[in-house]
Amino acid sequence: MITNQWYLICFEDELKKGQILKRKVIGEELVIFKTETGKVAVLQDRCCHRNVHLSLGYVKGEHIKCGYHGWEFGETGKCEHIPSLSPEEKIPKAACVKSYDVQVKHKAVWAYLGNPEKKAEAEIPPFNELDNWPMVYNYHVVKGNIKLVAESLFDSHHINHVHRNSIKTLMGNLHHEKPDYHLSFTDKSLTGWYLRDNENSVFEKVYFGFEDKVEAHFGFWFPHSSKLDLRFPAHFTMPARQMVIFEHFYEIDEDHVMMIQITTWHRIFEYNPWFAKWFMLKKSMTIVEEDIAFLESNKYWHNKEKLNDLLIRPDELTFEFTRLWNKNLKANAPETYQKQASEL
């Protein structure tokens, strides 16, 4: 498991005041709650009294109250009240649960799960488009390999095949010749762009444009975020439009990966925002379900026969991604790196 990272644990609009959510991220059981003054807190989902899930409780004022005997915990995880104690008795020092650092950014709640000494090195990925544009999101639990999940959003060659009935009609065919990916790297990320032919249906051309080419920008930020950013050029009276799909992913446990797909857009269907949300959610659900079938299929064969993939020259993005992934994995999670190396 890859610790020492900020993970997206929920979206702001999922968490109303006084509400509790429960998540499992890289093996950690979390309870997320919003206090009555609007503070967001993340604790281990375990009451230290009799070891039950705190998420079975409820919010009271600034505290989460265990549903079993009513012990109350604040955002730091310290127990602040035990109803069965008489006023002269003290709350024991050991009465506390693990708490996690939280940030609210890009309309989402992020928790830092890892060694506090490494926190300064961890970054929230640049999901900047979510700040001002409309968005839809959905969660999927996948029995897949995390590395393939990470790569799947920007694997340029799968789109015309896996998504032949969904995305292909939206963003057109990939060039048959070798695409120029215009790649750039940092220590923890890769970004790039290439041109796709725009062979949309007439209906979709009305919205997405009549230009021959669409720019497909993409990115990956180790270890948990990918981006596919489609830019439709301006045409006659139509301004330039953009659709950005983010994927945030993490291992829930050894066998399950969480994929959170977030779609945002700019100037598409802007006079009909309700239709836009309905359309984007429907498309995005279809797209991710199409991917999941292949992600699970790949894991099935890897597990069954410990097979290596047969990569060829046009899989060059995969080679670049794998180099970045392995370098970071070795530095951040050497045990996971060793395990992956022995599996493949």
Residues near Fe ion (CB under 5 A): 291
339 lies in the site for ligand FES, by CB under 6 A: no
Class of residue 244 by CB neighbours under 10 A (exposed 0-12, middle 13-18, buried 19+): buried
Q: Name the H helices within the chain.
A: 146-152, 159-162, 168-171, 202-208, 273-305, 316-332, 334-343
Whichever of 83 and 116 has its CB closer to ligand FES, that residue is 83
Whichever of 52 and 238 has its CB closer to ligand FES, that residue is 52
285 lies in the site for ligand FES, by CB under 6 A: no
Give how far Cα 338 sits from Cα of 47, 230, 253, 333, 341, Å.
35, 36, 17, 9, 5
Q: What are phi and psi of 46, to 5 degrees?
A: -150, 125
Which one among 22, 39, 46, 49 touches ligand FES, defined by CB under 6 A? 49
33 lies in the site for ligand FES, by CB under 6 A: no
Q: Which of positions 62-121 make contact with ligand FES (CB under 6 A)?
A: 66, 68-71
Is 50 in contact with 70 (CB distance < 8 Å)?
no
Give me the least distance between CB of 65 and ligand FES, in Å please.
8
205 lies in the site for ligand FES, by CB under 6 A: no
Whichever of 28 and 151 has its CB closer to Fe ion, that residue is 151
50 lies in the site for ligand FES, by CB under 6 A: yes
Q: Count the site residues for ligand FES by CB under 6 A.
A: 9
Amino acid at 204: E
H or E element that contains 31: strand 28-34
When CB distances are held under 5 to 8 angstroms depending on the partner's kind, the choice from ligand FES, Fe ion, none that residue 91 binds is none
SS3 content of the chain, % helix, strand, coil (to 5): 30, 30, 40
Residues that bind ligand FES (CB under 6 A): 47, 49-50, 52, 66, 68-71
